[in-house]
Structure 1
Amino acid sequence: MTALVDTHCHLDPGYFPDGGDLAIARAQESGVSGFVVVGVGQDLAPARHAVALAHARGDHVAAVVGIHPHDAITLNDASLAELQGLARDPAVVAVGEIGLDYHYDHSPREVQRAAFARLVGLAREVNKPIVIHTREAAKDTLAILEAEGARDVGGVIHCFSEDRAFAERALALGFYLSFSGIVTFKGAKSVHDVAAWAPEDRILVETDSPYLAPVPLRGKSCEPAYVIHTAQRIAELRNVDLTRIAEVTSANAARIFRRPFPT
């Protein structure tokens, strides 16, 4: 079977004290050979770690750097300047995760919107795709993506948890839909619907480790090895075998992030 690519995982020492090395080893033993490591946090230390890990791990690991909507209030001229430098690194394949989170409102909504627009501009400047976090903010997320020219670079709706109407607009902007452990949850009916329906050449799989462990591991700390459970559930929903999901999602990851991953 083609190896899987976990297109969104957090492996910085705040979650994995060894920096993710053991989690990567366990995942490789389980048939995962590609890792898109996202570096976001209250400062840029996780972003620096993601870039360093990508350089250390070569073909297997790519980095994504950004400022999470929770931390939008930290965006200033100095942090933006450093982020620009990091985003230009060849090991960095996207800007993210960026977006809006109206569930927790850790940063004021107007600050989130301003930071989001500014970071879409950064992605356009460095000509790299965007990884989007959106929670309870679907209308504003799509409005900013459309207004700020996100179509020029495309990207990924990370941890997809919206409905088909949202998916259709995201697809029209050139975005891919990335499914996490949520697709294995019994009550996630709209996510099941989109995972079954979405164009085969626009779907991805992820763990969002250490969050959202899939069934049958729900409640545990998540890690990249668990992405196989998400892929298996998508295969069931689409009535295809796991090998087909591995093939298409890995090919899709290579296309949107503009680099191959080992298979």
Structure 2
Amino acid sequence: MSKKKERQLPETLGLSPVGADSHAHLDGRDYDVDAVLARALACGVRTVGNVFLGPQAYRAGRALFERHKDVFFLLGVHPHDAAKMTEADVKDMRAAFLEDSRLRAVGEIGLDYYYDFSPKEDQQRWFRRQLDLARELDQRVVIHCRDAEDDCLAILDQAGFGGRPLLWHCFGLGPDWARLITERGWHISVPGTVTYAKSEALRQAVKTIPADRLLLETDCPYLSAEPYRGKTNEPALLGFTAREIALLRGENLHELWSRCGDNARKFFGLAD
């Protein structure tokens, strides 16, 4: 009987504690946040962006990170929840940003036509409204877009967001879309799906993204990189995504790791 191959432990990648997971969801699952963040640091991830999906989630979950000063926050209403969004949510979000300096971006916001959780009209309306809020607050924006690229780009162009600080989260498209995004001055965050053999368009795209526009993310608990595909994702596994991107780009892993971490801290305005 053949022995089952053991997965490589992420700490064996030997990455320095300068990495950044630009997009994680640690408040919505039964994570032991202290343990997860300790493992992340042991695997080279110093900075983590936790995404709160709406003001209620933010109010309920921010205390989880009270002792973890290298965690910053993102706050936005996801397009899945657009049908339930009200102007009261916008008011609550505005108040949160004004009172909490750890909130560094309005996001994730955008459009999702893959699922039918909210009508397209509601998604577009509240996407525009949250873009207005980001402009009012002079805040960065983090985009969620799935099967809605043309509409998402059109709304962003109509709103005049070219040249403004914007991050396209969980990018999974090809080189042409990478060019359309980066030529507008925006950044791109790549998840663990880049390690999947069938993600050929994404694997080609990461070769073309300008070095200073590239960020890394887990989008945990989803989208674990190989060799942990199908397992619950967490920031400690981010190094496997970095390793694959370094191979595809022909770069040194440790240099890419450090640069992507710096890119994230610069984009989100965090002290180095």
TM-score of Structure 1 vs Structure 2, range by shorter chain:
over 0.9
Which string of whole-angstrom CA distances, capped at 9 and with x for unpartnered residues, describes residues 55-78 of structure 1? 5322x1100000011011122111
- How far apart are the structure 2 equivalents of 1:154 and 1:189? 28
Match of 2:179 in 1: 168
Deviation, structure 1 residue 111: 0.5
Alignment correspondent of 1:77: 87
The equivalences for 1:222-237 within 5 A come to: 222-237=233-248
1:206 to 194, 210, 217: 217
Residue identity in the other structure for 2:36: A
Where does structure 1 differ by over 3 angstroms across 4 or more consecutive aligned residues?
49-56
How far residue 153 of structure 1 moved from its aligned partner, in angstroms, is: 3.0
Quote how far apart the aligned CAs of 1:121 are: 0.9
Residue number in structure 2 paired with 1:98 = 109
Higher Cα Rg: structure 1 or 2?
Answer: 2
1:128-178 CA distances to partner (integer Å, 9 max, x unpaired)?
Answer: 111111000010010011111223532110010112222222112221110
Q: Which runs of 5+ in 2 are unaligned?
A: 1-15
The structure-2 alpha-carbon separation of the partners of 1:56 and 1:173, relative to structure 1 and needing over 3 Å to count, comes to farther
Provide Cα deviations, 1:193-219, integer angstroms capped at 9, x if missing partner.
111111000000000000001110000
Identity %: 37
1:6 and 1:181 map into 2 onto residues whose CA distance is 11
Using structure 1 for the length normalisation, give the TM-score.
Answer: 0.93
Normalising by structure 2, report the TM-score: 0.90
Matches within 5 A, 1:109-258: 109-151=120-162, 153-258=164-269
- The CA RMSD over aligned residues, in Å, is 1.5
Q: Relative to 1, partners in 2 of residues 1:126 and 1:236: Cα closer, same or farther, differing over 3 Å?
A: same
SS in 2 for 1:216: coil
- Give, in whole Å, the separation in 1 of the partners of 2:61 and 2:190: 21
Q: What residue identity is the alignment partner of 1:35?
A: V
Question: 1:55 touches 1:91 (CA, 8 Å); kept in 2?
Answer: no
SS at match of 2:22: strand
